[in-house]
Amino acid sequence: MAEHCFRIHPTGTPRATILIVPPLFEEANRTRRTLVLAMRALTADGFAALLPDLPGQNESLVPLEKVELASWQNALAEAAATIDGPLIIASLRGGALIDHYPKAAARWRLAPIGGASLLRTLMRARIAADREAGRTSSLDSLQAEASTVPLLLAGNRLSPAMIAQLGSAEIQPVAPLRSVTLGSGADVIAGTPLWLRAEPGEDAAMAKAIAADIAAWSKTCGIS
Amino acid sequence: MTEPDTVDATLRALLADVLGLGEDRAAALTADSGLFGALPEFDSMAVATVLTEMEDRLGILIDDDEIDGEIFETYGNLLAFSLRKVGE
């Protein structure tokens, strides 16, 4: 089943298409508005921009419980295959765990994070919620449970396969790649880590900085 | 800065990032300032995010059996826990 994909096109033929790979789980909601602002800035600069829904996320009709990390990697490869002209893949956070299948003229990653760290945070949210409800759980007890049955972690019902794949997922080396973090200095972007934020926010200046950095990197990679 | 000052500054910046407090509210936190249960933004997901970010930014490892409700009761408790972990 085809998933919804949010697209913005420039007037005329795009210089290239930027495929945005969103962060995973709740981090996608926290960053979506700023990502869309960045997409609009890229479109104003002559790029087409795409933000696909991952199966089981956002508007998808697929139950999350039926999804594995491999499903997301394949879904992105399919989304990339529909694109004509030069392709640039831009990933945020856990998006960098699923962005390496498609061939791309350039790749860009912001604050990439390993799967084990993401899974640990989700498990800790469950432990904190359990503690509040007067139940006792631990990373070990949840890991044991997750080997046989789906586990509800911070509102996400994840299958044993998804939990196993997420726990061992590492950022894959790709080229040509520009990897940036937040902060000040070289290879950084000024902004706020909205993906950590308990309540939704936006950072218009960071959105512009993201778009400018991707555009500059695409030029370095020979896209005019 | 001395190490306790660095830990204090790191912790305030981290809470500002996770809870969206803004620099002013983060700077105004005192040892008695309530966190979990007192700040509406501080839910179980925020607790989890704070723990993971504490590990990353302070270079510590936190076992889940070290965590009880008291650590997140006040800013003073969280700072004392962080200083102890950094000193280990």
B29 to chain A, closest Cα gap in Å: 18
A193-203 pLDDT tens trace = 999 999 888 99
User: Which has the closest alpha carbon to A76: A58, A42, A51, A56?
Assistant: A51
Q: With an 8 Å Cβ cutoff, is A4 touching chain B?
A: no
pLDDT in the model for residue B77: 97
SS3 B23: helix
DSSP string, A41-68: HHHHTT-EEEEEPPTTSTT--S-GGG--
**Average confidence (pLDDT) over B34-58:** 93
Task: Name which of B18, B53, B64 is nearest A127 (Cβ-Cβ).
Answer: B64
Amino acid in the structure at residue A152 = L
Neighbours of B54 (CB within 10 A): 22
**Average confidence (pLDDT) over A145-171:** 97
Residue A65 is encoded by which pair of tokens?
A: 């419980």
CA gap A109, A73 in Å, rounded: 16
pLDDT in the model for residue B65: 83
Q: What global pTM score does this model have?
A: 0.94
Pairs of CB atoms within 8 A across A/B: 59
Residue A184 clears pLDDT 80, i.e. is over it: no
pLDDT in the model for residue A183: 83
Task: Name which of B46, B65, B67 is nearest A198 (Cβ-Cβ).
Answer: B46
Neighbours of A155 (CB within 10 A): 13
Q: Is the Cβ–Cβ distance between A175 and A100 less than 8 Å?
A: no
Q: Is the Cβ–Cβ distance between B71 and B44 less than 8 Å?
A: no
Residue A8 clears pLDDT 60, i.e. is over it: yes
**What are the phi and psi torsion angles at B22 (to 5°)?**
80, 155
ipTM of the complex: 0.91
State whether A198 and B47 contact (CB < 8 Å): no
SS3 A82: coil
CA gap A217, A182 in Å, rounded: 17
**Average confidence (pLDDT) over A96-105:** 96
Instruction: Write down the number of H helices and E strands in chain B.
Output: 4, 0
pLDDT in the model for residue A1: 55
pLDDT in the model for residue B69: 80
**Average confidence (pLDDT) over A91-110:** 97
User: Which has the closest alpha carbon to B48: A125, A149, A65?
Assistant: A125
Which residues from A are below 8 Å from B45, CB to CB? 26, 125, 128, 154, 198
Q: With an 8 Å Cβ cutoff, is B48 touching chain A?
A: yes
- Lowest-confidence segment of A71-75, A113-117, B64-68 by average pLDDT: B64-68
CA gap B40, A199 in Å, rounded: 10
pLDDT in the model for residue A108: 98
Amino acid in the structure at residue A123 = M
* pLDDT band per the 50, 70, 90 thresholds, residue B1: low
A173 to chain B, closest Cα gap in Å: 22
A88-98 pLDDT tens trace = 999 999 999 99
Q: Which domains does chain A have, with CATH numbers?
A: 5-113+171-220 (3.40.50.1820), 115-170 (no CATH)
